[in-house]
């Protein structure tokens, strides 16, 4: 991300943060021939509170997506879309009515991916000195 000019990820995730995610969320690693090519994390609650909540129905059961990432050399090859399809499948299996996330507003490439897969912008928020666009994908 830093190589693409997104400095909000300059501080790597610490081992403690990763262990906390494993204990409180579901962390997925996408493998291809034994090598990690992507990852995403989901949970039934947001990692950070949204205030005010931008969602159409804030009380609806939802999955909150974070840390969707694809190996840079493989971006544009369908792995991110495959991950979003799996996330939607997991949401349906759990009875969620929405998948929610936020994306660094400056990351237009990732925002386009979400929008191609039916995620709709619901508002803006800031944390850590950065602006983020909130996205929601309603599950039918």
Who's near 56: CB < 8 A, 6+ residues apart? Answer: 98, 122, 136, 138
Give the SS3 label for residue 124: strand
pLDDT class for 26, splitting at 50, 70, 90? Answer: very high
The mean predicted confidence, pLDDT, of the chain is 88
Q: How far is CA 116 from the centre of its chain?
A: 14
- Whole-model pTM: value is 0.86
pLDDT class for 15, splitting at 50, 70, 90? Answer: low
Map 53-105 to HEC letters.
CCCCCCCCCEEEEEEEEECHHHCCCCHHHHHHHHHHHHHHHCCCCEEEEEEEC
Tell me the pLDDT tens digit for each residue of 115-134.
999 999 999 999 888 899 99
pLDDT class for 6, splitting at 50, 70, 90? Answer: very low
Taken in order of first residue, the domains within the chain and their CATH numbers are 2-6+13-138 (3.40.630.30)
The DSSP string of 90-102 is HHHHTT-SEEEEE
């Amino acid at each position: 991300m830093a190589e693409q000019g997104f400095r909000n990820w300059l501080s790597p995730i610490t081992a403690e943060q990763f262990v906390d995610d494993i204990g409180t969320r579901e962390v997925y690693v996408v493998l291809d021939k034994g090598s990690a090519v992507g990852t995403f994390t989901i949970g039934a609650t947001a990692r950070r509170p949204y205030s005010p909540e931008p969602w159409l129905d804030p009380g609806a059961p939802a999955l909150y997506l974070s840390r969707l990432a694809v190996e840079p050399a493989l971006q544009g090859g369908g792995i991110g879309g495959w991950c979003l399809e799996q996330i939607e499948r997991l949401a349906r299996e759990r009875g969620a009515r929405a998948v929610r996330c936020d994306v660094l507003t400056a990351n237009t490439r990732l925002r386009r991916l979400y929008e191609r897969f039916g995620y709709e912008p619901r508002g803006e928020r800031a944390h850590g000195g950065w602006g983020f666009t909130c996205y929601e994908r309603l599950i039918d």
